[in-house]
């Protein structure tokens, strides 16, 4: 019984990393790129990098949103359909 809950928790954590990875990586790449450009040009404008990160994250969410939602809904369906078996 405990193995079922441990494996479900493990799958949930893996899914969380898998789904949150693309937006975080997009923000990381844009942030690092703009930080290097700002350091080279000596522009110290904070709103420039923040606006670019927001646009990048929303772009990734727009492009990969269906994929993310399908993985989350598939996991939720499996958890909710198997839950009655686990409590008996």
pLDDT digits (tens, 9 = 90+) for 69-87: 999 999 999 999 988 888 7
Q: Which has the closest alpha carbon to 26: 67, 2, 1, 62? A: 62
pTM: 0.79
Average model confidence (pLDDT) for the chain?
92
Residue 1 pLDDT level (bands cut at 50, 70, 90): low
pLDDT value of residue 33:
94
* String of DSSP letters for the chain: -HHHHHHHHHHHHHHHHHHHHHHHHHHHHHHHHHHHHHHHHT---HHHHHHHHHHHHHHHHHHHHHHHHHHHHHHHHHHHHHHHHHH-
């Amino acid at each position: 019984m405990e193995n079922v809950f441990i494996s479900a928790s493990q799958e949930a954590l893996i899914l969380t990393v898998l789904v949150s990875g693309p937006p975080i990586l997009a923000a990381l790449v844009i942030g690092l790129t703009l930080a290097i450009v700002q350091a080279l040009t000596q522009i110290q404008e904070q709103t420039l990098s923040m606006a670019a990160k927001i646009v990048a994250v929303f772009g990734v969410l727009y492009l990969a949103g269906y994929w993310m939602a399908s993985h989350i809904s598939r996991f939720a369906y499996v958890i909710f359909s198997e839950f009655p078996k686990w409590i008996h």
